[in-house]
Amino acid sequence: MDTSSFELLQTAVLLLDASGRITYANGAAEELLGRSRRQLAGRAAAPYLPAHSSVLKTPLADPPGGSLIEIPVHQAPHLADLRQARSGQAAQREVLRNLAHEVRNPLAGLRAAAQLLDMELPRADLHEYTQVIIDEADRLADLVTRLGSPQHQAAERQRFNVHEICERVRALVQLEFGEHIRFERDYDASVPDILADRDRLLQALLNVVRNGAQALAEHPDIPAPTLSIRTRIVHQPPLLQARHRTGLMIAVLDNGPGVPPELHDKLFHPLVTGRARGTGLGLNLAQECLQAHGGVLEFDSRPGHTEFRLLLPLSTS
């Protein structure tokens, strides 16, 4: 069978032989299942398929007894996917931390040399260039410090009202972005106090809300720029582990331009940014924080409607 056209599909496609073993997986399937075609080949398909009936199975004449499986991507088996993403991210951060460590010393040397050079310059108009070296070295040093700092000090959990941190964040971002943006609050008063690391969660929410405000501020042509913070109790939250029957959702919505489409797939990776002076760490750290709490950060975005959702487990059954 010519499989080249399957590569163009968003839908994950698997071809199985008569015994239900995988003979082919398209790119979407590799991505969905977090494994390469080579790793999947020859394995039984059943453990990889989501339990629900949305999987389409078409019998094939060739090979006899074989079948073609389609998994619509919105029905992705989130948990397997997420677990894979989590271990990948942890490994990535480890690499970044080591890199940060390696870069710090030469960077300090570079800056010191630029400063010496600056003092020896024969012409005043050349200072501009040494100053660029010094400023950029400072910016890199700052980035490296943030990359290298361990995020996983033991979480200091305490019980608090999430609306208190929502209000803190709103006040901070309102101060920073002034009158330009309208803020809406839609809090569910029945949300119980949660047990979490208050400072880190505040930082995560701040990163998300500030991104929304920045997106709105960068596009002054948007009519009625509005940022909303919404809290809800969610039952059977789909992305949390099954034992959590209820979850808390903090949703941050804006009517800005939307996340650039080319960033969607890698938005939570470190150093991914759509801004000239961005660090690309805000969402990565926010995701790390949520995951450290057994939760997850997810988003939907199109022009005029962007929603980031912080999901945290509430009860354990």
Ligand X SMILES: Nc1ncnc2c1ncn2[C@@H]1O[C@H](COP(=O)(O)OP(=O)(O)O)[C@@H](O)[C@H]1O
Please check whether residue 226 is in contact with residue 254, taking contact to mean a CB–CB distance below 8 angstroms: yes
Residue recorded with tokens 């010519």: 2
Q: For ligand X, which residue of 144, 237, 247, 254 counts as binding (CB under 6 A)?
A: 254
Whose CB is nearest to Mg ion?
A: 282
Report helix, strand or coil for 23: strand
Q: Which of residues 39-78 bind ligand X (CB under 6 A)?
A: none
Q: For ligand X, which residue of 22, 82, 100, 215 counts as binding (CB under 6 A)?
A: 215
> Residue 292 contacts by C-beta under 8 Å, 6 or more apart in sequence?
151, 152, 155, 197, 200
Counting DSSP H helices and E strands in the chain, the numbers are 7, 11
Instruction: Please tell me the distance from the alpha carbon of residue 300 to that of residue 238, in angstroms, as a whole number.
Output: 15
Of 154-162, 195-203, 240-248, 250-258, the window that binds ligand X (rule: CB under 6 A) is 250-258
What is the radius of gyration, based on Cα positions, of the chain? 24
Please check whether residue 10 is in contact with residue 31, taking contact to mean a CB–CB distance below 8 angstroms: no
Residue 254 beta carbon to ligand X: minimum distance, rounded to whole angstroms: 5
Instruction: Please tell me the distance from the alpha carbon of residue 151 to that of residue 231, in angstroms, as a whole number.
Output: 26
Residue 207 beta carbon to Mg ion: minimum distance, rounded to whole angstroms: 5
Q: For ligand X, which residue of 78, 279, 292, 294 counts as binding (CB under 6 A)?
A: 279
Paired with 44 in beta bridges are: 21
For Mg ion, the closer of residues 14 and 290 by Cβ is: 290
For ligand X, the closer of residues 57 and 182 by Cβ is: 182
Of 25-33, 171-179, 209-217, 235-243, the window that binds ligand X (rule: CB under 6 A) is 209-217
Beta pairing, strands 157-160 & 194-197? antiparallel
For ligand X, the closer of residues 155 and 272 by Cβ is: 272
The listed partner (ligand X, Mg ion, none) that binds 280, CB under 5 to 8 Å by sort, is ligand X
Instruction: Please tell me the distance from the alpha carbon of residue 237 to that of residue 248, in angstroms, as a whole number.
Output: 9
The listed partner (ligand X, Mg ion, none) that binds 254, CB under 5 to 8 Å by sort, is ligand X
User: CA-based angle 202:165:267, to the nearest 5?
Assistant: 40
CA distances from 310 to 144, 173, 194, 239 (A): 27, 18, 13, 11
Note the residues at the interface with Mg ion (CB under 5 A).
Answer: 211, 282
Residue 138 beta carbon to ligand X: minimum distance, rounded to whole angstroms: 17
| 228 lies in the site for ligand X, by CB under 6 A | no
> Residue 155 contacts by C-beta under 8 Å, 6 or more apart in sequence?
196, 197, 200, 292, 293
Residue 300 beta carbon to ligand X: minimum distance, rounded to whole angstroms: 11
- Contacts with ligand X: how many residues (CB under 6 A)? 24
Residue 16 beta carbon to Mg ion: minimum distance, rounded to whole angstroms: 43
Residue 277 beta carbon to ligand X: minimum distance, rounded to whole angstroms: 8
The listed partner (ligand X, Mg ion, none) that binds 267, CB under 5 to 8 Å by sort, is ligand X
Of 64-72, 90-98, 128-136, 282-290, the window that binds ligand X (rule: CB under 6 A) is 282-290
Instruction: Using CB under 6 A, list all residues that contact ligand X.
Output: 207, 211-212, 215, 254, 256-260, 263, 267, 272-275, 278-284, 306
